[in-house]
């Protein structure tokens, strides 16, 4: 509690990160036990999701990529409905038709999860143009999440150039997690920071420690305020790390154990926990309590998802364009 007796927002961000972690671990367990649909987790990247999404307002929109669970949960998505989606059940956000790789939640302003790498970068310009033309909510901006691999594609430059030239209200969020599927980032790009590419397009750009949720949140708030004030795009590069494999299951044999250990020591949840305990905002006892609450909620979500029905076969040809 702070002086006004309100809960510290940093504790709430920590709980959101714990929820994302518990959700993804549960899906990994379900996949291992039952062979049910796998997923691309963003374990280790929770600070990026929570720090940015908590800087957005309900009128804003999100266009995201294949590692989107954290973005959706941080936006307030129901974990049971998300799990039902991944398991292909009718109560999923897209009636079980999208799985984790295409999930969207219109009611939350999450327009699309693109599993085509870089697809989100092409679509975000259209969504932002619609916002600018008054087809969205007044003053709304669009945040797009993508990886360092997507930044190596031509569409990254087309998107940035168009957004800069047309002055589109886009928050570009590159989660630079050091890996592009099974390829190391330094094998595909000669520069250290993607920020320099964005800056070359005249887009206001900054690189932040993506495992520090407070630093991410401060940078995201600043960028969102700038976009709302100017109507111009901003770019955030969040340096982080994917602690699990590219997808599930993946034994990560291609990863140097020393590199993994280095980043595990910078686990965003551990970092925030230690910081908040040291600052007297919380205690280890309270954190145990929060973890139990989070785990119970995720167990309940799994029960809900597993209890949800399979779609009727007649649904196969509905909600499709062709």
Footprint of ligand TPP on this chain (CB under 6 A)? 66-67, 115-118, 146-150, 177, 179-181, 242
Rounded Cα–Cα distance for residues 281 and 278 (Å) = 8
Query: How much is the CA Rg of the chain, to the nearest whole Å?
Result: 19
Please, are residues 172 and 178 in contact by the beta-carbon 8 Å criterion?
A: no
Structure tokens at 255: 């990863």
The residue among 132 and 156 lying less far from ligand TPP, judged by its C-beta, is 156
Q: Which of 180, 230, 172 is nearest to 197 (CA)?
A: 172
Q: Which residue number, 110 or 294, has a Cβ lying nearer to ligand TPP?
A: 110
Which CB atom, from 23 or from 241, has the smaller least distance to ligand TPP?
241
In angstroms, what is the minimal distance from the CB of 147 to ligand TPP? 2
C-beta of 38: minimal distance to ligand TPP in Å? 13
For the bound state, the minimum distance from the C-beta of residue 274 to ligand TPP, rounded and expressed in Å, comes to 26
Give least dist CB 26 to ligand TPP, A: 20
- Report, in Å, the least distance between residue 262 CB and ligand TPP: 17
Task: Tell whether the torsion through CA atoms of 235, 159, 170 and 79 is positive or negative.
Answer: negative
DSSP notation for 149-214: HHHTSHHHHHHHHHHHHHT--EEEEEEE-SEETTEEGGGT-SSS-THHHHHHTT-EEEEEETT-HH
Find out whether 158 and 150 touch, Cβ atoms under 8 Å. no
Nearest-CB residue to ligand TPP?
Answer: 147
> Which is closer to ligand TPP, CB of 67 or CB of 217?
67
Q: Alpha-carbon distance 190 to 193, whole Å?
A: 9
CB of 114 to ligand TPP, least distance (A): 9
| Cβ neighbours for 148, distance < 8 A, ≥ 6 positions apart | 174, 175, 176, 177, 178, 180, 185, 189, 194
Compute the least distance from the CB of residue 238 to ligand TPP, in Å. 11
Q: Nearest Cα to 22, choosing from 217, 210, 290, 276?
A: 290
């Amino acid at each position: 509690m702070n002086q006004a007796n309100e809960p510290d927002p940093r504790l709430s961000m920590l709980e959101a990160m714990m929820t994302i972690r518990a959700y993804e671990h549960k899906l990994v367990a379900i996949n291992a036990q039952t062979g049910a649909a796998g997923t691309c987790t963003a374990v280790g990247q929770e600070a990026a999701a929570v720090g940015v999404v908590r800087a957005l307002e309900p009128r804003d929109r999100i266009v995201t990529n294949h590692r989107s669970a954290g973005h959706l949960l941080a936006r307030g998505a129901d974990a049971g409905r998300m799990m039902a989606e991944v398991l292909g059940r009718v109560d999923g956000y897209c009636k079980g038709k999208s799985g984790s790789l295409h999930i969207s939640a219109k009611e939350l302003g999450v327009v699309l999860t693109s599993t085509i790498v870089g697809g989100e970068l092409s679509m975000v310009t259209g969504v932002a143009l619609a916002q600018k033309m008054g087809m969205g909510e007044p003053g709304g901006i669009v945040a797009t999440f993508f990886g360092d691999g997507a930044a190596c594609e031509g569409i990254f430059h087309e998107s940035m150039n168009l957004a800069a030239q047309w002055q589109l209200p886009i928050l570009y969020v590159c989660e630079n997690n050091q890996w592009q599927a099974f390829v190391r980032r330094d094998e595909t790009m000669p520069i250290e920071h993607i920020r320099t590419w964005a800056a070359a397009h005249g887009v206001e750009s900054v690189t932040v420690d993506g495992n520090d949720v407070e630093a991410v949140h401060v940078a995201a708030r600043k960028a969102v305020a700038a976009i709302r004030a100017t109507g111009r795009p901003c770019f955030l590069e969040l340096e982080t790390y994917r602690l699990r494999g590219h997808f599930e299951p993946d034994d990560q044999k291609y990863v140097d154990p020393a590199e993994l250990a280095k980043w595990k020591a910078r686990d965003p949840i551990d970092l925030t926990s230690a910081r908040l305990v040291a600052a007297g905002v919380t205690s280890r006892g309270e954190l145990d309590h929060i973890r139990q609450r989070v785990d119970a909620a995720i167990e309940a979500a799994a029960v809900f998802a597993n209890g949800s029905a399979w779609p009727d076969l007649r649904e196969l040809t509905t909600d499709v364009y062709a």
